Amino acid sequence: METIHTAEAKALVELQKRDTAIDALAAGVAGVPVKVAGLNAVFEAKKRSMGAAREALQALQVKKKNVELKIAEADEGIRKHQRDLNLVKDNNAFKALLTEIETDKKNKDDLETEELVLLEEIDKAAVQDRLMQAEVKKTEEFKNSEISVLEAAGREAAEKLAAAKNERAAAAAALNPDLLERYESLRANRGGLAVAAAHEEPHTGKLSCGGCHMSLTPQKTLDVKKADTLTFCQDCRCLLYLEKTIFGEKPKEQAEG
Ligand SMILES: [Zn+2]
């Protein structure tokens, strides 16, 4: 069959408009938990970075502690060897002690240099640590406010969806059951779009399918302009209608909306 002639053409087009709106509302409602999960994932990733920055800082602080202990040990060694200097009588032993003291001092110098480098690194790591803390706090505040906006919008959409579904059920119940069944099966097979508006090129008046955008054949162009008539697109097989045939002519500026 190439066309459906029915006094319910307008009601069917309106049903499609309701269903399209319902699908959009349902997608909006379903999108909320996905968006919330996305925001939470960004926040968790930031928190992990913050944890890593804190660990890096703590590792440097542990290193510094160890270096300080070694410096204290080196000091202790120097003091001990200096005490020993006063006790030895043998010249060779005296020289050996002096060498040990030199080694300890050199060792202590190296450790102090290492400590300075570590102090610089700790300063940088502490800055990074504070930055990360602030960033996580900011991300959390942003996330929480976004989520509350999303959830409020989700609740509103869910309410609208429930109301739209009720209205839709009433509108569907008023239709001829056979027509409704054809519509439902078309919708199921065509990703939700059973009925599409034919698009009219403003200058040429040429018509194309609102579903697949292919130009209508001359016969289809005639059919779609008939009152109470829906015609199948020759390409994608959706049911086509012409807005002005179904709903009457509109002023130009409203025609696009
Ligand atoms: Zn088409």
Check residue 252 and give its pLDDT: 56
Ligand 1 centroid to Cα of residue 179, in Å, is 20
Write the CATH number of the domain with boundaries 25-173: 1.10.287.1490
Q: How far is the CA of 243 from the centre of ligand 1 (A)?
A: 16
Residues with Cβ–ion distance below 5 A, ligand 1:
209, 211-212, 233, 235-236
Q: Is the pLDDT of residue 250 over 90?
A: no
202 CA distance to ligand 1 middle (Å): 19
CA of 213 to the centre of ligand 1 (A): 6
Which tens digits make up the pLDDT trace of 159-214?
999 999 999 999 999 999 999 999 999 999 999 999 999 999 999 989 999 999 99
pTM comes to 0.76
Task: Tell how far the Cα of 5 is from the centroid of ligand 1, in angstroms.
Answer: 19
Q: With 90 as the cut, is the pLDDT of residue 256 above it?
A: no
DSSP state of 215: B
pLDDT at 80 over 60: yes
DSSP class per residue in 85-146 = HHH---HHHHHHHHHHHHHHHHHHHHHHHHHHHHHHHHHHHHHHHHHHHHHHHHHHHHHHHH
Distance CA 2, CA 5 (A): 10
Q: What percent of the chain shows pLDDT beyond 90?
A: 93
Which part of the chain has CATH 1.10.287.1490?
A: 25-173
